[in-house]
Amino acid sequence: DGGITQSPKYLFRKEGQNVTLSCEQNLNHDAMYWYRQDPGQGLRLIYYSQIVNDFQKGDIAEGYSVSREKKESFPLTVTSAQKNPTAFYLCASSWALYNEQFFGPGTRLTVL
Amino acid sequence: AQTVTQSQPEMSVQEAETVTLSCTYDTSESDYYLFWYKQPPSRQMILVIRQEAYKQQNATENRFSVNFQKAAKSFSLKISDSQLGDAAMYFCAYRTQGGKLIFGQGTELSVKP
């Protein structure tokens, strides 16, 4: 089945630790995105990538890092510099920046 | 910068009735897309309907339709014959000419049997 997978569904980490969230797609999409969702707020763009080996900061990139070494993978690292990392993280992909985005099931990160 | 505002944090509708969710946006761009997404309790984001700004005709998808007022920068979603499965968080979103999606705060819709 074609789609976007995010793992794990729930993730717990201690404060001060870096953590990497996985996002994989087998839709052959060029563009991939990471969003953060907090209660009472809509999704906010963290990073996006139009093509392999290229990525751009979104609206709230501070404290996060990404890589795009393979077309199908776009991992997000939440670093210790992120002041409030507890949130729901959604990954998405699309054929190109101007096409419909398809979303993964999300990862709930809790920092203790 | 573009902004999207949903002024109704919560809405409720009786099963089989009609409900309208409001959305306003601000932009200086002339060509853009608007979307309504549904996020059920599973938290999977599902595209409900899209509207291209240059089209005057309002988009319709089965029981879902929009009222797009470009001059007023308003983009409301009407759900007809509401069903229990329509209960979810609904997000209005604006896609910039650069391809980025900007979301509103969301409206939580409950459907009463």
Strands in chain A per DSSP E: 4-7, 10-13, 19-25, 31-37, 43-51, 54-57, 64-66, 76-78, 87-94, 102-103, 107-111
What's the pLDDT tens digit per position in B13-58?
999 999 999 999 999 988 899 999 999 999 999 999 999 999 889 9
Least Cα separation, residue A107 to chain B (angstroms):
10
How does DSSP classify residue B51? E
- Nearest C-alpha in A relative to B32: A98
Of the pLDDT bands very low, low, confident and very high (cuts 50, 70, 90), residue B1 is: confident
Cross-chain residue pair A42–B105, CB shorter than 8 Å: yes
Cross-chain residue pair B98–A101, CB shorter than 8 Å: no
How far apart (Å, rounded) are the C-alpha atoms in residues B82 and B63? Answer: 8
* % residues pLDDT > 90 (chain A): 80
Q: What is the pLDDT of residue A2?
A: 66
B91/A contact by beta carbon, under 8 A: yes
Q: What is the pLDDT of residue B56?
A: 85
Q: Which of A99, A107, A11 has its CA nearest to residue A48?
A: A99
A105 vs B43, B98, B99: nearest CB: B43
What's the pLDDT tens digit per position in A84-106?
999 999 999 999 988 889 999 99
What's the pLDDT tens digit per position in A51-61?
999 999 999 99
Q: What is the pLDDT of residue A39?
A: 86
Q: What is the pLDDT of residue A91?
A: 97
Cross-chain residue pair A45–B4, CB shorter than 8 Å: no
Q: Please name the residues in contact with A71: beta carbons below 8 A apart, sequence gap of 6 or more.
A: A28, A29, A30, A52
Q: What is the pLDDT of residue B90?
A: 98
Q: What is the pLDDT of residue A99?
A: 86
Q: Which of A97, A102, A107, A108 to mutate to test the interface with B (most CBs of B within 10 A)?
A: A97
Confirm if B48 and B36 have CB atoms less than 8 A apart: yes
Q: What is the pLDDT of residue A98?
A: 81
